[in-house]
A and B are shown apart, each in its own frame.
Chain A
Amino acid sequence: MSKENYINDVRPHDSAYKHVSGYAEYTDDINEPKNTIYGAIGLSKKAHAIIKKIDLSDVKKSEGVISIVTQSDIPGRNDVGPVFDGDPIFPDKKVEFFGQPLFAVAATTTELARKAVLKAKITYKDLNPVITIKDALKKKQFLFKPRKIKKGNPSKKIKNSKNNLKGNFTTGSQEHFYLEGQAAFVIPKEDDNFLVYSSTQHPSETQQLIAKMFDQKSNSINVEVRRIGGGFGGKETNFMTACICALLAKKTGQPVKLRLDRDDDIILTGKRHEFLSEYEVGFNDEGIIEGLKINLSSNCGMSPDLSAAINERALLHIDNAYYISDIEVTNNLCKTNIPTSTAFRGFGGNQGMMAIENVIDNISRYLKIDPIQVRKKNFYQKDKKNVTHYGMTIEDNVINEIFKNLENKSNYKKRYSDIKKFNEKNKFKKKGIAITPVKFGISFTTIHLNQAGALVHIYTDGSVYLNHGGIEMGQGTHTKIAQLVANSLGLPYNLVHISSTNTAKVPNTSASAASSTTDLNGAAALNAVAKIKLNLEKFIKKKYKIYNQEAIYKDQYIIFGNRQFEFKTIIQEAYLNRISLSSSGFYSTPKINFDKKKFRGRPFYYFCYGAAVSEVTIDTLTGENILERVDILHDAGKPINPALELGQIEGGFVQGQGWLTIEELNWKSNGQITTFSPSTYKIPAVSDIPKKFNVEIFKEGINKEKVVNKAKTTGEPPLMLAMSVFYAIKDAVASVGNYQFAPELNAPATPERILMSVNKIKNKIKN
């Protein structure tokens, strides 16, 4: 691709018009056939118990009820675990979390179905639930064997280092709170076929799991998704809703819609893994890490789900942007009686990165130097100090440039000293500032998932129909891929029609996840286009006797040197000459390999980089705080559509800010969740965002690898820019003790946690 050919085209999201006018269709909005009935799921009221009896007689009698399904109605596999077993659709004997589905109902309306399920009489024999990481560690309840990654000799290095620190740190769980809850709509067809609409990031897995549940072949299940109302990882697995909906449809032979209400959605679906890190670090007087031993324990909930891969990504990101010569990382994947923890933007990477940033911050506070210095001193370099703890050589490092650029742009130095002056003068309000880096690896670490397919048709009127395996969940993947296709064919964007993701059109797709949806599916779509172009060019060359000329597709013309053919006309001509104008496309990411056992290889095709400076003011009497200003510089390579990338960067930042500040989940000791609605679980609202928000895309950015448009994804990486908010808060707390003590502060830094941390410092001053 030549330089001038990079797309850099700001245009609205393909569905923007429909979003704002109410005509964008989501699963629950799909027009229903007359005999459609509506589902609801009956949930367990215990977190850990043996089911003694399920009495559904009152449910059956409840108004409007048409059918009930339980585990005995499942002809095939009673499990929705995507990789490992462990997620029964309806458990046979044992309940393993509060809110676990036990049965489901179909009724004439959603309201009646929801009323009916509450009438179940279930008797349990209580077992002791294990809820927290601490409990699980004590009882040694693990899902997998602990892992150990080692490079060099960290124990010796720590021992020989001039300075040592030990500590522990936690980051909290997080509810996805996609605005559209889990929803499915299943329509039975002839020959036991089913048409499934589902709000999922993973139609292929939905298809396969429903097939397995029915003991049918995948070719009898067709899953279609036009768009979903947010996913963030929360719809990457979580196949419960679609499977139960399909089961109801099969049993009744009627179309069934099943939409979880917000409470049920939060109660029964998995969330982000809470992490505990325990570390021991040795470092020199400049703050350069000489040896690090760190243990990561995570709360995986009741089943494996994706926990193995998530915890693996945490191990792979324990370095963030820092070169650590001698390191040992171990982990514990704790099994507990909460819903199975699952994918969430960042996918463990963010938890690993927060753990190392906490170490770095504490080193700085111990040495009493500005953390920015310690960060810079430890950064990966270009030609040396450029091999990760898993043996991958970093070839695209731009963190030093980004940091320097942002440091200047944000006027960091002056503000840092101004803040110190402010804090000397103010007793109750304190300010804090922090700059943090992001380096995030792109690719599924499970190598075979790095593949994608697409289907492109050109119709005889010259219009283009585009289909690919990616899910549109707000990130704009459809818009960007249509931009790629239009650009490649030299057509205006509006001639490319984007269509619903459908397992009958593109098979065996991977989840829209790991930030790689556009990278993978965009490349597959271009591959399809390339095949059609080849047919066309062959035809034109032969017919018009053109030799050794390269075709250029521009402004609705195909140009060979001084000969040009109008696209629409030549398409008709090609059709009349029996040339194929349709093709599938395929892509698999090159270069990557990863030996999971040895924990070595190149798991990532490339890295994304970024940095953020945050400034906060805290109220030391209440813990309330304001995010005064945020400056971001983020590498998006050559962005296809800068407006959409900006949206991802800002949105990811605010979501990360929520994770690290106000979003707090709470379970009672009996395993019952107490934060299951917007009244008890607070995601950022408009007043939480930075008062000043300067976001820039790194102009010098370019993807060194052959990614579509030389772009870099902005899916997950920006979430970690919010780490700066947390460390700015910590900096403000530190000012209470005149920067003499490292604050004890875990994430999320809620007002309560901030106040308690302030108080601890105050007590230290007293003593």
Chain B
Amino acid sequence: MISSSVKFLLNDKLIVINNPDPNQTILNYIRTELKKTGTKEGCSEGGCGACTIVLGELVDNKIIYKAINSCISFVPSLNGKQLLIVEDLVSKDGKLHPVQDAMVKFHGSQCGFCTPGFVMTLFSMFKNNKNLNNELITDSISGNLCRCTGYRPIIDAAKSLDKKNRNDQFSKNNNKVTQLLKKIKPKNIYIKKDDKIYFSPKNIKDLKNIIKKYSNFSFLAGGTDLSLKVTKERKEIPFIIDLKEIKELDFIKVNKNYLEVGASTPLIKFEKEIKKHYPDFYLVLKRYGSIQIRNVGTIGGNIATASPIGDTLPILLSLNAEILIESFNQRKVIPINNFFLDYRKTKLKKNEFIHSIKIPLFKKNIFKAFKISKRFDDDISSVCGSFNFEIDKNKIKEVFIAFGGMAAVPKRAKACEKILKNKPLNLSTFNQAKNYLDKDLSPIGDMRASKEYRLEIAKNLLMKCFVEIDTNKLTRVN
């Protein structure tokens, strides 16, 4: 079953777009075709949150409200979803939604330009969560920039929602929308518009059929990187294969020895599971990007993009993760330590896709990961360091260390590891080992951090590990 039209609900109204331009952003569609101007363009790269919309999605018969950046999402990804924009939150009689009302009461808007984005992010938080604590509130709005208020009134508005009745017009409309969403359950989509092709398969079998036939496509997962080609470089992506709708690639399996995560699993889902096993991995993911980014960004996408500053990569390197790769007729497993070849170059061939990632669960090891950036929220790492120690009787039995932001690829620090291995766990071992990072790493200086700073941080993070292991106390400020 193949369709060339995108079907979605605009609040509770069915909209069918026949053969849309697969490179058109949802933001552009909302502003120029729906002619609704409440949703704002702030940056066109998912970095300010002014364009935030909410997508309602059926998960186990329940509607989950996901805040996403409409400026870096393409129209076909609306398929099968409920689109909610800021105007939809006002009830038909002109009454503000409790979230909007709180923003008014607490003086959460000044110039007002960022406000619709905040309202939408807070709305999704309000709908998806029963208890709104400070951590949740901060995390929820970490991807929304406000230049006027200094955020305090917005936080207060959010806090006031904790006790508010969740029974809003959307709850009242829940059954109707659920039924409608079931009706428009996505089919395979194939769009050919001018010279652009978009294909969104529902299962791996259909995916394999298409990659067997073609080779000049780009895979789209969260699109938080790929879409910038359109919105920033002003180029076209002529052939997109969207992996998001393949449910077989969206899973997490855990057994005694490892955790396996499907390549299209959104980070927001993955972080909840990984928190149980590697709390530091979770903390890095929180700083990886905003909720809007983590709602769509996938772990497979992070790996395939292979950016030297992809924050999951050094962590996966130090955890000796394995990547399961498939093509139309093959399956293979590549250790992530052999995966990255050069700047944004990997062993992944054109007609292959990442199926899943297997992350070993080192139950006895001490695992630490740090992300250092100029800003805590939604920033790109100056350095991301990940450390995996097996310690036995005060001796370092095994150690895996990897860094992001320190070379053209995310990289293991093998010279340093060699010095540490089989040595006693003490200050002099670490002092000696840290100097070997000069050999392992070759950072560049750019607008985020100088070469010297990066190298120094890498060394200090190693020392931080020692201090934290030695004293059994965390030494972090945040």
**Bound: A646/B107 CA distance, A:** 10
Residues of the B chain whose Cβ atoms lie less than 8 Å from the Cβ of A1: none
Count of chain A residues near B, Cβ 8 A: 88
Residue in A115, A180, A644, A675 whose CB lies within 8 Å of B113? A180
Contact A655 B42 (CB under 8 A): no
**Bound: A475/B148 CA distance, A:** 8
Which residue in chain A gives the minimum CB-CB distance to B140? A686
Which residue in chain B gives the minimum CB-CB distance to A475? B110
Contact A16 B37 (CB under 8 A): no
Residues of the B chain whose Cβ atoms lie less than 8 Å from the Cβ of A195: none
Residue interface mask A466-477, B partner, CB < 8 A = 1: 000000011110
Not counting A16-B103, A619-B475, a sample of 6 additional A-B residue pairs whose C-beta atoms are within 8 angstroms of each other reads: A19-B103, A19-B112, A229-B114, A474-B111, A617-B477, A686-B138
Residue in B47, B232, B464 whose CB lies within 8 Å of A621? B464
Residues of the A chain whose Cβ atoms lie less than 8 Å from the Cβ of B37: 22, 25-26, 28-29
Contact A683 B457 (CB under 8 A): no
Contact B96 A17 (CB under 8 A): yes
Contact A429 B111 (CB under 8 A): no
**Which chain B residues numbered 241 to 269 have a C-beta less than 8 Å away from chain A?**
none
Residues of the B chain whose Cβ atoms lie less than 8 Å from the Cβ of A12: 104-105, 107
In the assembled complex, A194 has its CB within 8 A of some CB on chain B: no
**Bound: A17/B153 CA distance, A:** 15
**Bound: A652/B39 CA distance, A:** 26
Residue in A29, A259, A675, A685 whose CB lies within 8 Å of B447? A675
In the assembled complex, B337 has its CB within 8 A of some CB on chain A: no
**Bound: A548/B85 CA distance, A:** 60
Residues of A within 8 A of B (CB): 12-13, 15-26, 28-29, 31, 109, 111, 114-115, 118, 176-181, 227-232, 259, 261-263, 428-429, 473-476, 617-619, 621-626, 643-644, 646-647, 650-655, 662, 664, 666, 674-675, 677-680, 682-689, 693, 695, 750-752, 755-756, 759
Most buried by A among B42, B143, B380: B42
B interface, size bucket: 35 or more
- Nearest-neighbour CB distance to chain B for A197, whole angstroms, equals 13
**Bound: A227/B376 CA distance, A:** 32
Residues of the A chain whose Cβ atoms lie less than 8 Å from the Cβ of B112: 13, 15-16, 18-19, 24, 227, 229, 474
- Nearest-neighbour CB distance to chain A for B204, whole angstroms, equals 33
Residue in B48, B96, B377, B467 whose CB lies within 8 Å of A179? B48
Residues of B within 8 A of A (CB): 28, 32, 35-45, 47-48, 50, 85-87, 89-90, 96, 100-101, 103-105, 107-116, 119, 138, 141-155, 232, 234, 370, 372, 374-380, 382, 446-450, 453, 456-457, 460-461, 463-464, 467, 475-478
Residue in A674, A678, A688 whose CB lies within 8 Å of B48? A678
Contact A22 B104 (CB under 8 A): no
- Nearest-neighbour CB distance to chain B for A462, whole angstroms, equals 24
**Bound: A84/B36 CA distance, A:** 41
Contact A647 B110 (CB under 8 A): yes
Given A15-B112, A179-B114, A179-B146: A114 touches B377 (CB 8 Å cut-off): no
**Bound: A180/B40 CA distance, A:** 8
**Bound: A374/B342 CA distance, A:** 56
Contact B109 A16 (CB under 8 A): yes
The 5 closest A-B pairs by CB, nearest first: A22-B38, A474-B111, A229-B113, A678-B47, A19-B112
- Nearest-neighbour CB distance to chain B for A667, whole angstroms, equals 9
Given A680-B447, A756-B453: A20 touches B100 (CB 8 Å cut-off): yes
**Bound: A319/B36 CA distance, A:** 51
Residues of the A chain whose Cβ atoms lie less than 8 Å from the Cβ of B380: 679-680
- Nearest-neighbour CB distance to chain B for A421, whole angstroms, equals 18
Residues of the A chain whose Cβ atoms lie less than 8 Å from the Cβ of B48: 179, 262, 678
Given A13-B109, A624-B478, A685-B145: A21 touches B450 (CB 8 Å cut-off): no
Contact B109 A179 (CB under 8 A): no
**Bound: A118/B446 CA distance, A:** 25
Contact A21 B477 (CB under 8 A): no
22 interchain pairs (CB within 8 A)? Answer: A13-B110, A20-B108, A21-B87, A28-B41, A227-B111, A229-B111, A230-B147, A231-B111, A429-B477, A621-B464, A643-B107, A647-B149, A647-B153, A651-B110, A651-B147, A677-B47, A679-B45, A684-B150, A685-B378, A686-B142, A687-B376, A755-B456
